[in-house]
Amino acid sequence: MIVIMTVIRKAFKFRLDPTTEQAQQMVEFAGANRFVWNKALALNLSRLENKQALLWYFELVFWLGLWKQSEEYAFLKAVHSQPLQQTLKDLSRAFSDAFDKTQPLKRIPRFKKKGAGGGAAGGAGGGARDSFRYPQGCKLDEKANRVYLPKIGWVKYRNSRQVIGDIKNMTVSRKGGHWCVSIQTEYEAQTSPHPSTSMVAIDLGVNRFATLSDGSYLEPLNIFKQLQEKLAFAQRRLSKKVKFSANWKKQKKKIARLYERIANARHDFLHKASTLISKNHAMVVVEDLKVRNMSKSAKGDLANPGRNVKAKSGLNRSILDQGWGMFIQMLQYKQTWLGGEVIKVNPQHTSQTCPECHHVSKDNRTAQSRFKCVECGYTENADLVGALNVLARGHRVLACGVETLVLTMKQEPLGSSDTRPILAA
């Protein structure tokens, strides 16, 4: 089989949590950037008017050096030089695009205003907000949730998704009242782009292994139940045998084999399930298990005894608990391979928030499997509600996480009767 490898370029956007001092520096950097853009643009526009040749990147960089040396524009020295040069590169590109006859929609670059600059129509760096870009020198420390921006230092960010590939550049921009970083990467993958363009969210649960935001779900395989019963039986028998006797040892071996069978069945199940989801969806949003384990009650499963959830799900749960982490890992590498992605979101209150009116209440969860909003009366399968809320959070992550954003979900209303298992149990 011939596998064609393609280079995939991707941008990963995160919200930054700079210190007051760092935020001030960012304001200065963005301001200097805007200044350099406008200054160089004015220079070129006057040359155009006087029918003189335009200044291109290397000439503009020379001019930048002169401005820096002048007393008037000494503030430019406080800013890292590379983002400023990037701006000049963008301006040069915008000018060459503007005169490119094959691209009729391009316009002459425009001046940038504070907070909402004009820039080139569609031109790189001509975005509609304060920003500056580093072509190199940035570092990413995912474990400590921080990025290194030259001359600003290590800045905390809200780590919501794994960054895949080699970092090519980083752009810092302001959106509303906060700062975001967009990390541009490149990596090789099997196909490009992902065969699908859809986005789906997954709610991981006990009764259903996984519920998808499109209404489909995965049930744990029956073989788990059978093997668990066998295991429980075998363990009872072991307890009745004389320790270290020949029979006891034999029984011990039997139990070890059962564990192995369960592990194999689970591995097989997780592989099938992750392949199925990965093939069909370019973006997969999941709950961040690290956060979820810290706040187990948020899920409401065991905290809400309802119908002896605890007794029913004991072993099943422990088996699946270990499985969830593995499942997400598998999803992650399969998505990377296919050119898709996995996004992790904060799982808090996903089971208690109403997807319709966004009312958050424990009372919204009447029984283990039913959700009924005490505010607006919206009723749905509880696991599906979890998945819909996870999906909404995924959308917010892609938009650089505006916390107050109204959740917009253009989902068809799904009765629980519409849901169907997508992997035969």
- Among all residues, which ones are annotated catalytic? 203, 287, 383
Q: Are 20 and 178 in contact (CB under 8 A)?
A: no
- In angstroms, what is the minimal distance from the CB of 408 to Zn ion? 15
What end-to-end distance do the CA atoms of the chain give, in Å? 32
**Closer to Zn ion at the Cβ: 294 or 405?**
405
- In angstroms, what is the minimal distance from the CB of 98 to Zn ion? 50
**Closer to Zn ion at the Cβ: 148 or 378?**
378
- In angstroms, what is the minimal distance from the CB of 359 to Zn ion? 5
Judged by CB under 5 A, which of 74, 294, 303, 376 binds Zn ion? Answer: 376
Alpha carbon distance 342, 117 (integer Å): 33
Burial of 76: CB neighbours in 10 Å, binned 0-12, 13-18, 19+: buried
> Token pair 């006087």 is at which residue?
50
Phi-psi region of 291 (alpha: psi -120 to 50; beta: other; left: phi over 0): alpha
Total site size for Zn ion, rule CB under 5 A: 8
What is the helix (H) or strand (E) element at residue 189, kind and residue range? Answer: strand 178-189
**Closer to Zn ion at the Cβ: 256 or 357?**
357
Separation of CA 86 from chain center: 27
- In angstroms, what is the minimal distance from the CB of 411 to Zn ion? 14
Q: Are 97 and 47 in contact (CB under 8 A)?
A: no
CB neighbours of 225 closer than 8 A, spacing ≥ 6? 316
List for the chain the helix, strand, coil content (%; round to 5).
45, 20, 35
Closest by CA to 337, choosing from 195, 179, 190, is 190
How far CA 109 is from CA of 52, 117, 333, in Å, comes to 17, 11, 41
Judged by CB under 5 A, which of 182, 375, 414, 422 binds Zn ion? Answer: 375
CB neighbours of 59 closer than 8 A, spacing ≥ 6? none
- In angstroms, what is the minimal distance from the CB of 388 to Zn ion? 12
**Closer to Zn ion at the Cβ: 90 or 356?**
356
Tokens of 163: 């960054």
Separation of CA 126 from chain center: 25
Judged by CB under 5 A, which of 120, 328, 373, 397 binds Zn ion? Answer: 373
Is residue 78 within the footprint of Zn ion (CB under 5 A)?
no
Q: What residues between 341 and 370 interact with Zn ion by CB under 5 A?
A: 354, 356-357, 359
- In angstroms, what is the minimal distance from the CB of 389 to Zn ion? 12
How far CA 141 is from CA of 34, 147, 148, 155, 158, in Å, comes to 29, 6, 8, 10, 12
| φ and ψ at residue 236, rounded to 5 degrees | -65, -40
ω into 150 cis (within 30 of 0): no
- In angstroms, what is the minimal distance from the CB of 385 to Zn ion? 10
Binding mask 226-265 for Zn ion (x = CB under 5 A): ----------------------------------------
**Closer to Zn ion at the Cβ: 100 or 363?**
363
Judged by CB under 5 A, which of 156, 234, 378, 416 binds Zn ion? Answer: 378
- In angstroms, what is the minimal distance from the CB of 284 to Zn ion? 26
Q: Which stretch binds Zn ion (CB under 5 A): 146-154, 286-294, 375-383, 400-408?
A: 375-383
**Closer to Zn ion at the Cβ: 203 or 356?**
356
**Closer to Zn ion at the Cβ: 348 or 364?**
364
**Closer to Zn ion at the Cβ: 320 or 373?**
373
Contacts to Zn ion by CB under 5 A: 354, 356-357, 359, 373, 375-376, 378
